[in-house]
Amino acid sequence: MLASPVAGHELQIYTVIVNTDGAQPAEIPNGTLKEGDSAWFWMKDTTDNATLIVEIEKDGAKARSPVLQFECELDENGSKVNEECTNRYDFVFSQQSSAGMWNFTFLTYVNDTLTKTSSGSAFIQEDLHDEMHNETPVEEVESSSSEDEDKKIPIKAIAGIVAILSFIGIAVILTSEAKSLEKE
């Protein structure tokens, strides 16, 4: 069984920074992300005791980030004191069936009280591979295939003629050499 080559895209990561002014950018530009790509949501709001939750929704299906904080306390070795503390949420748009409009909701809390809600979105493009995305109609493929064969026939005929002429030329040379050897 032979594997057919496919051409995908290099996976991309798009960063959204949420600070005191909200998400930057809240709207991910169309054409930026495809299926399989990721969006990273960073909590960079320096308001005292502020936390962030990012909700991502498409067609009723939702994903929700853990509680994001501006910074996590580190010990003397540089390790997190609280392993659950995080300031970034990574969301990967599935390789399959994630194309379409995704909505983001950014929920900012101060002292565990919701203080701000903002929204954004991204249109995720389908990641079409060469084997699935053949824009040439079947009829055209078949006709160009037979056209190629029509072009090959004259090439084969020319090659055959050249071979016959070469054979005749070699026969003439060998015959003339044989005659010259007989005369000596």
* Domain annotation covers residue 129: no
Q: Are residues 95 and 171 in the same domain?
A: no
Based on the fold, state whether residues 86 and 145 are members of the same structural domain.
no
One domain for residues 144 and 175: yes
Domain final residue, candidates 124, 152, 167 = 124
The better pLDDT of the pair 109, 156 is held by: 109
- Each residue of 41-93: pLDDT tens digit? 999 999 999 999 999 999 999 999 999 999 999 999 999 999 999 999 999 99
Check whether residue 108 and residue 21 sit in a common domain.
yes
Residues 104, 160 within the same domain: no
Range of the domain at 165: 137-179
% of the chain at pLDDT higher than 70 = 78
Is 144 found in the same domain as 64?
no
Residue 68: helix, strand or coil by DSSP? Answer: strand
Say whether both 169 and 113 belong to one domain: no
Residue 130 inside a domain? The answer is no
State which amino acid sits at residue 152.
Answer: K
Query: Is 184 within a domain?
Result: no
Asked if residue 118 has pLDDT above 80, the reply is: yes
The domain total for the chain is 2
Give the residue from 103, 124, 145 where a domain finishes.
Answer: 124
- Encoded tokens for 81: 């004191």
Are 148 and 107 contained in the same domain?
Answer: no
Give the mean pLDDT of the chain: 82
Residue 145 lies in a domain: yes
- Asked if 118 and 141 sit in the same domain, the reply is no
Q: Is residue 107 part of a domain?
A: yes
Residues 60 and 142 in one domain: no
CATH of the domain at 31: 2.60.40
Exposed, middle or buried: residue 41 (CB in 10 Å: 0-12, 13-18, 19+)? buried
For 3-29, the pLDDT digits (tens) are: 444 456 688 899 999 999 999 998 888
Select from 48, 169, 36 the least CA-distant residue to 177: 169
Contact 58, 153 (CB under 8 A): no
pTM of the complete model: 0.64
